[in-house]
Structure 1
Amino acid sequence: MSSVVNHITVDCVGDPYDLAQFWSAVTGNPLADDDFPGDPEASVIPPSGARMLFVRVPDHKTMKNRVHLDLKPTDRTRDEEVTRLLALGATLVADHRRPDGTGWATLADPEGNEFCVERSDAERTPAP
């Protein structure tokens, strides 16, 4: 017997719809059809796998996330993706990118939830 991950739930003190819109832009996946501003929860629906569920909570985030997402760009470089996400409203928390092109960047979404941006597959493949 086993289980599947149904939702990845993210607590937020602001409007869950607003945070879901940020993550919808990050992932390119739509919000659920029944989500609206002011709702107590909102979901980002991927083509397969677990939904990202954003739920309003009364308490503010006070420490580092114990679980976070690691993003891998599919159609751009890591650095281009970091630039795109910063323009969407993310903030740079820590820069672990190295001069040789390895490493990652740690960002935070508008609610302060940390996530990392890794290199794309193309950046991991050795040049011929």
Structure 2
Amino acid sequence: MTSSIRHVTIDCADAYRLAAFWAEVLGQPVHEDDKPGDEEALIEGAGLLFVTVTEPKTVKNRLHLDLQPQDRTRDEEIERLLAVGATLVDDRRNADGRGWAVLADPEGNEFCVERGAAERAG
């Protein structure tokens, strides 16, 4: 027998608030049973579980998500994410169209945005 990953669990200060941000990013809902103030919040379709902890984030993430836009360019997706509350941490986009951008969610967890699916195919 083997194991499978059920969730990627993200410790945070406010589980529902951070889940709501990621639900907007991914276009998937926060689980219907989860409400503001809950200690846990789940985005079931993405396998992301957010858990409220008392310790603050102190160092760079050892694990991060790489996003690939499916219906827009990388640059369009970065603009959308900035508008919903992400911040730009490091811009590694190159003049030739390659590269990525490092963003952070509202609690400072880093993630990358790579070229979109159509950009990779082209």
Q: Report the identity percentage.
A: 62
Q: Which runs of 4+ in 1 moved over 4 A?
A: none
Letter in 2 for 1:40: E
Residue 90 of structure 1: CA displacement? Answer: 0.3
Superposed CA RMSD: 0.9
Q: Does 1:29 align with 2:25?
A: no
Gaps in structure 1 of 5+ consecutive residues: none
| Matched letter for residue 97 of structure 1 | R
Provide the rounded CA distance (Å) in 2 between the counterparts of 1:8 and 1:61. Answer: 17
Please say if 1:125 is aligned against 2:118: no
What is the aligned partner in structure 1 of residue 63 from structure 2? 67
CA displacement, residues 9-53 of structure 1 (integer Å, 9 cap, x when unaligned): 11111x21111000000001111111000000100121xxx5110
The answer for unaligned runs of 5 or more in structure 2 is: none
Q: Give 2:67's aligned amino acid.
A: L
In the superposition, the TM-score normalised over structure 1's length comes to: 0.92
Q: Check whether the contact 2:30–2:42 (CA below 8 A) recurs between aligned residues.
A: yes
TM-score when normalising by structure 2 = 0.97
Other structure's SS at 1:104 match: strand
Three-state SS of the structure 1 residue aligned to 2:36 is coil
